[in-house]
């Protein structure tokens, strides 16, 4: 696939992109990875002439391609997409940058957090800064850059922005060792809104601190499913041994929800130990479906690896959604129609919260 696509000029790739009467060849997607300066200039020059729906479909397919390929890098095209007029493309660009460690990404994300008119983009950008908070804690970016990111995110958490933005900022700051985070996480956990509790649990799992153990353990059987899932994930991220028994109770066949079961299976693999590992082996023999059996096999492999906590991404606020290719005929359609932010928010919530690869990094 790569050799055939590389034999075609990039101008020919862009000509295919500009043609709305047929599907864009999937084999050309890799040409947007590590794009040269000249090819990026060509893309920028023709981009305004591409129909909005075609542009969005390209971004969605690049996201899917990126999730299934570990050796591609779309940082340069994603940085360009961040300036698009369509907020869905800007949100998708942030998702393309989720694995980036490039310091060039920091200021554009900060600008979106502070100035973008769409709260979904502000939320996505705040979430995208979480990776750089972690890099700062690991001394992989300068203290000055880390301090700037933290000031921006703290201002969102304590400010009056939409709750989705504030919660996303809280989750991103979960990686931070700043003293005020203990109070902010506690305040969020004590809210009556399950969404805030779930975000507090995300931050707890990212904190690398077992001080949150009791909060997490008592949330494992919360009536809200998303809260339960985030408690399970946090227990796995912090390798809480006391969570093994409650999770085994969930997996004894009485928990019908697939997302909860899969979260518990993966967290057991992260916690590890003789009891958790033996339970995974037993569950493999008694898996409810072929899909669950395959997932348990992946969890067993993870338990035997040295990769550490890989995360699950069930409640990822900066996730545009893992949509399939939609390069279709568009004779009469110039754009996807969203009546207002709520239409896209439905997609943002329903498709993005639960479709991420369970073994993805960065959570």
Residue 284, domain member (yes or no): no
Q: In this predicted structure, what is the pLDDT of residue 251?
A: 87
Distance CA 309, CA 292 (A): 20
Residue 132, domain member (yes or no): yes
Distance CA 269, CA 52 (A): 43
pLDDT > 50? residue 285 = yes
Q: Where are the alpha helices (DSSP H) in 251-289?
A: 258-271, 274-285
Residue the block writes with tokens 């949330």:
219
- Label residue 319 by pLDDT band (50, 70, 90): very low
Q: In this predicted structure, what is the pLDDT of residue 21?
A: 72
Task: Choose the weakest-confidence range: 108-122, 225-239, 246-260, 306-320.
Answer: 306-320
Q: Long-range contacts of range 246-252, CB-CB < 8 Å, 24 or more positions apart?
A: 246/217, 246/220, 246/221, 247/220, 248/279, 250/220, 251/279, 251/283
Residue 61, domain member (yes or no): no
Question: What confidence tens digit (pLDDT) does each residue in 26-70 have?
Answer: 999 999 999 999 999 999 999 999 999 999 999 999 999 999 888
Report the pLDDT averaged over residues 195-210. 97
**In this structure, are residues 344 and 124 in contact, taking their beta carbons and an 8 Å threshold?**
no
Question: What confidence tens digit (pLDDT) does each residue in 168-198 have?
Answer: 999 999 999 999 999 999 999 999 999 999 9
SS3 11: helix
pTM attached to this predicted model: 0.83
The encoded tokens of residue 96 equal: 């393309």
pLDDT > 90? residue 313 = no
pLDDT > 90? residue 13 = yes
Domain interval for residue 146: 101-178
DSSP structural state of residue 317: T
**In this structure, are residues 86 and 60 in contact, taking their beta carbons and an 8 Å threshold?**
no
Residue 346, domain member (yes or no): no
In sequence order, which residues have a C-beta less than 8 Å from that of residue 82 and are 6 or more positions away? 90, 93, 94, 108, 112
When the pLDDT of each residue in the chain is averaged and rounded to a whole number, the result is: 85
Residue 302, domain member (yes or no): no
Distance CA 284, CA 282 (A): 5
Report the pLDDT averaged over residues 330-341. 42
Distance CA 276, CA 257 (A): 20
DSSP structural state of residue 95: H
Residue 15, domain member (yes or no): no
DSSP structural state of residue 82: T
**In this structure, are residues 227 and 219 in contact, taking their beta carbons and an 8 Å threshold?**
yes
Structurally, how many domains does the chain consist of? Answer: 1
Residue 5, domain member (yes or no): no
- Label residue 253 by pLDDT band (50, 70, 90): low
Task: Choose the weakest-confidence range: 17-21, 229-233, 235-239, 265-269.
Answer: 17-21
> CA angle, corner 220, sides to 348 and 159, nearest 5?
50
Distance CA 213, CA 226 (A): 18
Residue 82, domain member (yes or no): no
């Amino acid at each position: 696939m790569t050799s055939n696509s590389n034999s075609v000029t990039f101008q020919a790739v862009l000509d295919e992109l500009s043609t709305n009467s047929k599907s864009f060849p999937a084999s050309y997607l890799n040409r947007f990875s590590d794009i040269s300066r000249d090819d990026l200039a060509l893309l920028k020059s023709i981009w305004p002439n591409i129909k909005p729906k075609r542009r969005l479909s390209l971004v969605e397919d690049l996201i899917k391609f990126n999730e299934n390929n570990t050796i591609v890098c779309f940082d340069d095209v994603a940085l360009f997409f961040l300036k698009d007029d369509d907020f869905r493309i800007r949100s998708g660009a942030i998702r393309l940058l989720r694995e980036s460690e490039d310091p060039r990404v920091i200021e554009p994300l900060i600008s979106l957090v502070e100035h973008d008119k769409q709260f979904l983009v502000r939320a996505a950008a705040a979430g995208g800064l979480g990776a750089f908070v972690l890099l700062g804690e690991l001394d992989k970016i300068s203290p000055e850059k880390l301090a700037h990111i933290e000031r921006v995110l703290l201002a969102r958490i304590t400010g009056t922005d939409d709750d989705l933005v504030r919660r996303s900022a809280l989750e991103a700051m979960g990686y931070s060792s700043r003293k005020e985070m203990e109070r902010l996480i506690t305040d969020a956990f004590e809210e009556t809104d399950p969404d805030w509790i779930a975000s507090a649990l995300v931050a707890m799992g990212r904190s690398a601190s077992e001080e949150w153990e009791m909060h997490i353990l008592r949330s494992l059987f919360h009536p809200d499913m998303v809260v339960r899932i985030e408690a399970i994930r946090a227990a796995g991220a912090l390798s809480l041994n006391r969570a093994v028994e409650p999770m085994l109770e969930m997996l004894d066949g009485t928990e019908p929800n697939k997302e909860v079961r899969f979260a518990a299976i993966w967290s057991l693999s992260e916690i590890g130990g003789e009891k958790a590992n033996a339970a995974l082996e037993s569950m493999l023999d008694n898996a409810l479906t072929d899909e669950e059996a395959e997932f348990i096999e992946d969890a067993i492999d993870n338990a035997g690896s040295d990769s550490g906590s890989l995360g699950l991404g069930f409640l990822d606020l900066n996730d545009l959604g893992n949509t399939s290719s939609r390069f279709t005929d568009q004779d009469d359609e110039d754009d996807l129609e969203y009546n207002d932010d709520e239409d896209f928010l439905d997609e943002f919530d329903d498709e993005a919260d639960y479709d991420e690869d369970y073994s993805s990094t960065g959570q």
